[in-house]
Amino acid sequence: MNSTNRSGRLYARTAVSAIAAATLAASAGGPTASNTLGTPGFASGYAAAFAVHDDGSGEKLYMTGTAGIAGSSQIARWNGASWEGVGGGLIGGFSNVLTNFQGDLIAGGYFDSANGVEGSAKLARWDGTQWNSMNAQSEIFLNSVWDLQVWDDGSGEKLFVAGNYVDIGGAGGPDHLAAYDGNTYAPVGDPIGGAVPLIVLDLQVADVGDGEKLYAGGRFLSIDGVPANNIAAWDGTTWEALGSGLTQPSGFAQVITMTVFDDGNGPALYAAGSFQTAGGVPALRVAKWDGSSWSAIGAGFNSTVQELTVFDDGSGPALYAAGNFEASNGGIDHIAKWNGSSWEQVLSGANANVFGAIVYDAGEGEALHFGGSFTSALGEFSNRVVSLVASEAGGCNAADLAEPFGVLDLADIQSFVSAFVAGEPAADIAAPEGVLDLADVQAFVVAFTGGCP
């Protein structure tokens, strides 16, 4: 052992009390709530979904739902200071989803038209200047679009359109799920089936160890003739079930939202909605698919989960859930964070349903923006939109040695000191260069108190 290394380890032993006091004091900060986007926000309706889009005038945050502003119903964009209209808005009904495709912003839902443009019912594209028809020919009363996902299935990038529509693009067109190449709509295998009100509610691209696939969730019992309870995966050629799927003893189970999250064991698909079992295992409204089997995520929730998303609030990436649940698991209202062993409420939660979320820096730093029907959320009076702004002093993953879920405390300090004294690689965070010295101790203190080396 060289003298520098020996002195560094001696320093680590003797300084643990001072490090503990300093780091615990400095790391007291956490993510904060902001009502900037919700003051005044939207006076009525709800915010359902978000997207970030650059229409040629710079990147902006867009919101859709039933909320809107004067002259622009059901859609608005944040210009850095206030919400403003988007081409006259979406007329009638409601909107569910926004995404980007071929340079345009695409809106889907159950609206009669986009600013009165002929042929723009249920699905329309904003080119930065005006709304345009996508030739969905979806004026049928019951038709609606619920999700949009861009994916290259091996034959070029396409927009996958999910909903409870029939004959999209005209008579004989696909039902419930279609691939749009910018001109025409093509089926994605054969239609969904089953003795339930059929609908595809959510799409997600994921690779959970067996190649990238498009996952579809909703309310169905089969797809392309393959038995599949409410969720299935498309590899570009064929559909496959995910075990015995997601079900419940009575009523219609459905998958409403999916996301990809790595809890330390590799990327996995997380699904949520209004089911009670996953692969035959009890799982209340949220579950994890690791590529081969389902598992529950804690105690789950007592009512519908509308949104799953991943956000780093300054203490490491974590899984967030939002929805209709209230007083769930001891008092979680509408917004929750998975801490690695249980769900916990995020600040004060919300006073009404939360439907959508997006991670984006809208001017206050990286933040998780929630949309819903609430007027108060995260401890702030905020109309339909509220933001959880990441802490700049919440520590860094390099300091999170004791737990893999962003909890920085005395246990992490003790773990670092033990690893440093034992010469373990876990303490080599300065470069890492394979040498433990004072630089690693200093790097740990910086990481713990909010910076990253």
Last residue of some domain: 343, 372, 389?
389
**pTM of the predicted model, to two decimals?**
0.82
Q: What is the pLDDT of residue 402?
A: 74
Do 270 and 132 belong together in one domain? yes
Do 147 and 68 belong together in one domain? yes
The total domain count for the chain is 2
Domain assignment present for 453: no
Nearest 10 degrees: CA dihedral of 273, 278, 283, 287?
Answer: -60
Last residue of some domain: 372, 389, 406?
389
| Residue 35, both tokens | 């009502």
Q: Collect contacts of 290-299 with beta carbons under 8 A, ≥24 apart.
A: 290/208, 290/209, 290/265, 290/266, 291/208, 291/209, 291/210, 293/243, 294/242, 294/243, 294/246, 297/270, 297/338, 297/343, 298/329, 298/338, 298/341, 298/342, 298/343, 299/329, 299/342, 299/343
Domain holding 383: CATH number? Answer: 2.130.10.10
Do 407 and 293 belong together in one domain? no
Question: pLDDT tens digits for 361-420?
Answer: 999 999 999 999 999 999 999 999 999 999 864 446 677 777 655 567 777 888 888 888
Domain assignment present for 279: yes
Domain assignment present for 182: yes
Do 212 and 91 belong together in one domain? yes
Which residues lie closer than 8 Å to 442 by C-beta, 6 or more apart? 430
**Whole domain around residue 79: which residue ranges?**
32-389
Question: pLDDT tens digits for 279-324?
Answer: 999 999 999 999 999 999 999 999 999 999 999 998 899 999 999 9
H/E stretch holding 186 reads strand 185-187
224 pLDDT higher than 90: yes
Last residue of some domain: 366, 389, 412?
389
- The more confident residue out of 61 and 13 is 61
Domain assignment present for 88: yes
